[in-house]
């Protein structure tokens, strides 16, 4: 490649790298985005992993925070081919007795189905739903000086306690289970501080917007963002794997959509000893074992609500989820793990041939585990959907090593770019008022290893630009 001067070069074409590129191009700067893979997208890629005609999301599948992102909603991505599909039931949580709790867009309908916990749910969620649009820019950025201190304090009092403590507000199995499935998105023990935050946010955006499925696959989000970036004058180079900064063309700024381990490998020789020491102390969390299925028909869940939900949280009671998440975090492999399942083709017929379906699922495992969890996950699905295994006509599995090989940002299978516990919530990847700056002038990090962390689509790539 001929060396050319740019205002900025971005390494990595995941949603954060793409968002950073768009933001810089919008400011009138010249930007080159380089990607080591032959296709863009990072965690937003889709492929025919099992059989021809079955489109699977390789990494992320359902995108609540794309709808709730204070940045993504400002982009004209519909004009660049992105369409979101919103299932009526965002998430369902089945129980062994054949019933299920659900998260619907209507907060009242959701609460009504929780019986004796109706008022408790409303008192918990109505203020969160009301305040989330104005709190989101602060909550999803670095350690904030809140613009709305009273609302932030009210949110913090609910968000900072362990989710095990907040669960005590509920009396019914349904409300406690629904809460447990939401909190388990933390990928850490539910008795950790601040594990209530993600549950509250996921429920709030579900009530405000829903949990969308990108039509045609998650790849369409990356394609639309890239198309918009290029329309603004940005340049993209794929198949350009960066091992050292010196491989890049000259630029005023370099932004790296990578985690601390790769950051040290690529640019560690430019950093101060203190900064390198902090990066070396950065902690990665649990990994995931993932399965994609090609199916001969819809998953036959016993609870009818599950047959109409985009996402299924499989784990039965709150107590069971809390116990198995704690086991996984301590290096064990429970027999009945929490399973996060998506059934995109129920709502998006472009994902599978007529009459067929795709499904996507993972369970949490110890970081770096290569134990095959296929049978365990399929038993968990069969537990709530008898006959499920008879429908499997194709299967693709990925353990933590294969996930990391596919996307180097997923160290040990950690899809969050590092554990998001209270110690690393606002110190990602180091203790700093501007965590996106490194100790080297002109070098920045714009990955899920900075606030707000993994899962908050494109927020990092936007908020980190306050440091430039």
Domain contains 62: no
Give the tokens for residue 136.
């989101």
Using pLDDT thresholds of 50, 70 and 90, give the confidence band for residue 463. Answer: very low
Of 406, 428, 450, which closes a domain? 406
Domain contains 298: yes
Domain contains 59: no
Together in a domain, 310 and 434: no
Task: Dump pLDDT digits (tens) for 366-403.
Answer: 999 999 999 999 999 999 999 999 999 999 999 999 99
User: How confident is the prediction for the chain on average, in pLDDT?
Assistant: 94
Together in a domain, 371 and 392: yes
Q: Which pLDDT belongs to residue 142?
A: 83
Residue-range definition of the domain harbouring residue 302: 84-210+285-406
Average pLDDT over residues 226-234: 98
Answering whether pTM is above 0.85, one says yes
At 257, which CATH number? 3.50.50.60
CA angle in degrees (0–180, nearest 5) for 392-394-399: 105
Task: Dump pLDDT digits (tens) for 45-102.
Answer: 999 999 999 999 999 999 998 876 778 888 999 999 999 999 999 999 999 999 999 9
Of 383, 406, 429, which closes a domain? 406
Domain contains 56: no
Q: Which pLDDT belongs to residue 468?
A: 45
Average pLDDT over residues 131-147: 87
Together in a domain, 299 and 352: yes
Give yes or no for a contact between 399 and 371, defined as CB atoms under 8 angstroms apart: yes
For residues 427 and 280, the model is more confident at 280
Together in a domain, 302 and 436: no
Average pLDDT over residues 264-275: 97
Longest pairwise C-alpha distance within the chain: 67
Cα end-to-end span (Å), the chain? 27
Together in a domain, 375 and 296: yes
Q: Which pLDDT belongs to residue 375?
A: 98
Of 382, 406, 430, which closes a domain? 406
Q: Which pLDDT belongs to residue 71?
A: 83
Domain contains 338: yes
At 147, which CATH number? 3.90.660
Domain contains 53: no
In three state form, how does the secondary structure of the chain look?
Answer: CCCCCEEEEEECCCHHHHHHHHHHHHCCCCEEEECCCCCCCHHHCEECCCCCCCCEECCCCCCHHHHHCCCHHHCCHHHHCCCEECCCEEEEEECCCCCEEEEECCHHHHHHCCHHHHHHHHHHHHHHHHHHHHHHHHHCCCCCCCCCHHHHHHHHHHHCCCHHHHHCCCCCHHHHHHHHHHHHHHCCCCCCCCCHHHHHHHHHHHHHCCCCEECCCCHHHHHHHHHHHHHCCCEEECCCCCCCHHHCCCEEEEEECCCHHHHHHHHHHHCCHHHHHHHHCCCCCCEEEEEEEEECCCCCCCCHHHHHEEEEEECCCHHHHHHHHHHHHCCCCCCCCCEEEECHHHCCHHHCCCCCEEEEEEEEECCCCCCCCHHHHHHHHHHHCCCHHHHEEEEEEECHHHHHHHCCCCHHHCCCCCCCCCCCCCCCCCCCCCCCECCCCCEEECCCCCCCCCCCCCHHHHHHHHHC
Q: Cα–chain-centroid distance for residue 189?
A: 17
CA distance 187 to 285: 7
Together in a domain, 166 and 313: yes
Give yes or no for a contact between 408 and 219, defined as CB atoms under 8 angstroms apart: no
CA distance 400 to 136: 31
Together in a domain, 104 and 231: no
Together in a domain, 122 and 198: yes
Task: Dump pLDDT digits (tens) for 21-38.
Answer: 999 999 999 999 999 999
Give the tokens for residue 445.
């990090």
Together in a domain, 205 and 250: no
Domain contains 395: yes
Q: At what angle do helices 196-208 and 149-159 cross, to 10 degrees?
A: 120
Give yes or no for a contact between 239 and 36, defined as CB atoms under 8 angstroms apart: yes
pLDDT at 1 over 70: no
Give the tokens for residue 216.
């045609």
Average pLDDT over residues 443-462: 77
Using pLDDT thresholds of 50, 70 and 90, give the confidence band for residue 454. Answer: confident
Together in a domain, 108 and 183: yes
Together in a domain, 219 and 289: no
Q: Which pLDDT belongs to residue 467?
A: 41
Together in a domain, 305 and 399: yes
pLDDT at 44 over 70: yes
* Total tally of structural domains belonging to the chain: 2
Domain contains 72: no
Q: Which pLDDT belongs to residue 462?
A: 47
């Amino acid at each position: 490649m001929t060396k050319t001067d740019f205002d900025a070069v971005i390494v990595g074409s995941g949603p954060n790298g793409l968002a950073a590129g768009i933001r810089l191009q919008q400011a009138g700067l010249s930007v080159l985005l380089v990607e080591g893979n032959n296709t863009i997208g990072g965690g937003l890629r889709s492929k025919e992993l099992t059989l021809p005609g079955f489109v699977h999301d390789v990494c992320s599948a359902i995108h609540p925070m794309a709808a709730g992102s204070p940045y993504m909603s400002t982009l004209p991505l519909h004009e660049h081919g992105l369409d979101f599909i919103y299932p009526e039931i965002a998430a369902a949580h089945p129980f062994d007795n054949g019933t299920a709790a659900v998260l619907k867009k209507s907060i009242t309908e959701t609460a009504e189905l929780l019986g004796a916990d109706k008022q408790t749910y409303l008192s918990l969620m109505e203020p969160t739903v009301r305040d989330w649009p104005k709190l989101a820019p602060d909550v999803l950025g670095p350690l904030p000086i809140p613009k709305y201190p009273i609302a932030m304090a009210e949110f913090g009092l609910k968000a900072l306690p362990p989710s095990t403590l907040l669960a005590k507000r509920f009396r019914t199995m349904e409300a406690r289970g629904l809460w447990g499935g939401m909190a388990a998105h933390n990928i850490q023990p539910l008795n950790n501080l601040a594990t209530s935050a993600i549950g509250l946010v996921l429920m709030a955006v579900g009530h405000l917007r829903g949990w969308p499925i990108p039509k045609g696959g998650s790849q369409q989000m990356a394609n639309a963002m890239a198309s918009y970036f290029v329309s603004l004058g940005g340049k993209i180079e794929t198949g350009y794997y960066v091992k050292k900064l010196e491989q890049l063309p000259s630029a005023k700024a370099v932004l790296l959509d990578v985690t601390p381990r790769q950051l040290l490998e690529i640019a560690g020789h430019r950093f101060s000893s203190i900064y390198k020491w902090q990066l070396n102390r950065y902690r990665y969390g649990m990994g995931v074992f993932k399965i994609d299925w090609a199916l001969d028909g819809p998953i036959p869940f016993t609870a009818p609500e599950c047959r109409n939900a985009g996402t299924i949280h499989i784990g039965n009671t709150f107590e069971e989820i809390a116990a198995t998440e704690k086991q996984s975090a301590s290096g064990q492999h429970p027999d009945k793990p929490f399973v996060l399942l998506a059934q995109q083709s129920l709502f998006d017929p472009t994902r599978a041939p007529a009459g067929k379906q795709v499904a996507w699922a993972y369970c949490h495992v110890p970081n770096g585990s290569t134990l095959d969890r296929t049978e365990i996950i399929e038993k968990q699905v069969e537990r709530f959907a008898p006959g499920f295994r008879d429908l499997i006509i194709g299967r693709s599995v990925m353990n933590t090593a294969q996930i990391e090989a596919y996307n180097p940002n997923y160290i040990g299978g950690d899809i969050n770019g590092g554990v998001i516990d209270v110690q690393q919530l606002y110190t990602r990847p180091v203790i700093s008022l501007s965590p996106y700056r490194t100790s080297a002038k002109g070098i920045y990090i714009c990955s899920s290893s900075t606030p707000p962390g993994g899962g908050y689509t494109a927020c990092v790539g936007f908020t980190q630009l306050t440091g430039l």
